[in-house]
Structure 1
Amino acid sequence: MPCFLLIALEGPMTAFGAEAVDARGVVRDWPGASLLTGLLANALGLMRTEAEAHQRLQERLVFGVRIDRPGSRFTDFQTAVLSRDDRGWTTRGAPEGRAGGTATYGSPHIRERDHIADMALTVALRLEPAEEVPTLENLGAALDQPARPLFLGRKACPPARPLNGGLVEAQDLMAALARATVFDPAPRPIIVLPDDPEIDPQWERLVVSDRRNWISGVHAGSRVFRRGRLKER
């Protein structure tokens, strides 16, 4: 029977990024593959420059999500005055300067960032192949003692509790999520699973781009998930 790692994600704020356009940072109510990959890679101590290790970890992830407490959405309106001399760090590990004429810096830099407050959910995941390193046991140990601080999306979103929910054996993702402790005992929490012929066809169909090409540094492609309610136990 397959083994699954349960990950508890709860915090005062979460920001599970979705497909963004321009300066608006939108979020989904569940984490995608790239976010889980980054979270686990950070716990393991992988550097951003280890793109192939990130890519391989993402390729091995098979996961589903149970939303125990949906929380409430809000938008953070951000402004910053930037000058031509200001420099910022990039994901490449080197500072980057700014271009443009002096007049282009007369107005503030404006962004909007969506968040979800007081959300709680559980992720059940397995790795294919299971015996390849890192294993589920390695991931669980890394969540218990992460190499670096962990966040639920953005750095302003720390977790409110330990993330490692333990290992369980179950027939499939649905069964693994049904076995996990529920944060807020709701009769039928929301479930998000990768599309499968055995899932109720009435479940909502979601087309998302949640996988990152860690070599090129961009998200690409799409795949289908299904969202519905867990059957009463």
Structure 2
Amino acid sequence: MSTLTLLLAGPLQSWGAAARFSRRTTEAAPTKSGVIGLLASAQGIQRGDDDQLRPLTALRFGVRIDQPGTRLRDFQTAIHWDSGKSMPLSERFYLADAVFVAAVEGDPDLLADLHAALRTPAYPPFLGRRSCPPARPLELGLHPDKNLLQALSHEPWQASRWHTGRHTKRPYITLPVLHESDDTTADTDTLRDQPVSFAAEHRRHALRTIVRTSVDIPTTTPRPRHDHDPFDALPEESR
């Protein structure tokens, strides 16, 4: 088995697992459906091609919450262009300034192809919704000798500099991890985010069991800086 890790960071993210009428919520962490959709998009898989999608849905999925962000609510209006009538007011929920490390575990050849696709995606990637582009490169690394939890324990802390600065006095930080497992454990939950089909005419998702755990990550491990910080232009004493 091999594991591919992804960095999911941006000004806004939205990972919906349930939506009713005009209310579109977001989970507190990326969903498997959203990340598998991102990978399928990078490979150029079409929405209705369930046969090509199936190997991706079989991957084991997990996510580490490096920076939980803040939940935002946005009210949106729309007009029916043919009739000119106003559509019902809708609510959209987002996560602002959140950072996650997602991981998929499975066939090494498939993950190598996905790793390459993330570097040259067939379609522009987004973090749950098209209005949420990533702020940093998505690919973190391919771990041929690590399982999912080992890879999530190995990746350096990816939070923004202003966030990590609040925790520099501690040598380690405990980060929550949500992952799927076949093992029986007391601390489990279920979420309907296991993709079955992305076809517009019969989009379907199944229930998935989630295990909640945590990992300790060093606070002093350096990581490459890919994000744009507008405060870099200010003197240190002004930040």
TM range (shorter): 0.7 to 0.9
Within 5 Å, give how 1:36-51 maps onto structure 2.
36-51=35-50
1:97-176 matches, within 5 Å, as 106-127=85-106, 129-131=107-109, 135-176=110-151
Provide the secondary structure at the position in 1 that maps to 2:66: strand
SS in 2 for 1:208: strand
Contact between 2:10 and 2:135, CA under 8 Å: does it hold in 1?
A: yes
- CA shift digits 1:146-187 (9 cap, x unpaired): 111100011110001111111114553221100012113561
1:102 corresponding residue in structure 2 = none
- How far is the alpha carbon of 1:192 from its aligned partner? 0.4
Residues in 1 aligned to 2:20 and 2:62: alpha-carbon distance in whole angstroms: 26
* 1:69 equivalenced with 2:67 (yes/no): yes
Give the secondary-structure state (helix, strand or coil) at the position aligned to 2:114: helix
Q: Percent identity?
A: 33
CA distance in 1 between counterparts of 2:31 and 2:86 reads: 35
Contact 2:177–2:214 (8 Å) recurs in 1: yes
- How far residue 24 of structure 1 moved from its aligned partner, in angstroms, is 0.8
Aligned to 2:236: none
Secondary structure, counterpart of 1:225 in structure 2: strand
Q: Normalized against structure 1, the TM-score is what?
A: 0.79
Matched, 1:197 2:156: no
What letter is aligned with 2:42? A
How far apart are residue 125 of structure 1 and its match?
1.1
1:116 is displaced (CA, Å) by: 0.2
Secondary structure of 2:53's match? helix
RMSD value, Cα: 2.2
| Structure 1: runs of 5 or more not aligned | 87-104
**Aligned-partner SS, 2:206:** coil
The answer as to whether partners of 1:7 and 1:163 remain within 8 angstroms in 2 is yes
Q: Answer yes or no: is the 8 Å Cα contact 1:208–1:224 preserved in 2.
A: yes
CA–CA separation in structure 2 for the residues paired with 1:7 and 1:80? 34
When residues 196 and 212 of structure 1 are mapped into structure 2, their CA distance, relative to the original with a 3 A threshold, is: closer
Query: The residue matched to 1:222 in structure 2 has which SS?
Result: strand
Cα shift at 1:130: 4.1
**Structure 2 regions of 5+ residues with no counterpart?**
168-172, 219-239
Total equivalences in the alignment: 205
Moved more, 145-154 or 29-38: 29-38
* Structure-2-length-normalised TM-score: 0.77
Residue 57 of structure 1: CA displacement?
2.1
The Cα offsets for residues 89-125 of structure 1, whole Å up to 9 and x where unpaired, read as xxxxxxxxxxxxxxxx755322111100001010121
Distance in 2 between the 1:218 and 1:47 partners? 13
1:56 positional shift? 3.5
Q: Which has the higher helix share?
A: 2
**Which amino acid letter does the alignment assign opposite residue 189 of structure 2?**
L
1:73 offset after TM fit, Å?
A: 0.2
One-letter amino acid of the counterpart of residue 27, structure 1 = T
Alignment-derived partner of residue 192 in structure 2:
209
Q: Which amino acid aligns with 1:48?
A: R
Deviates more, 1:216-225 or 1:143-152: 216-225
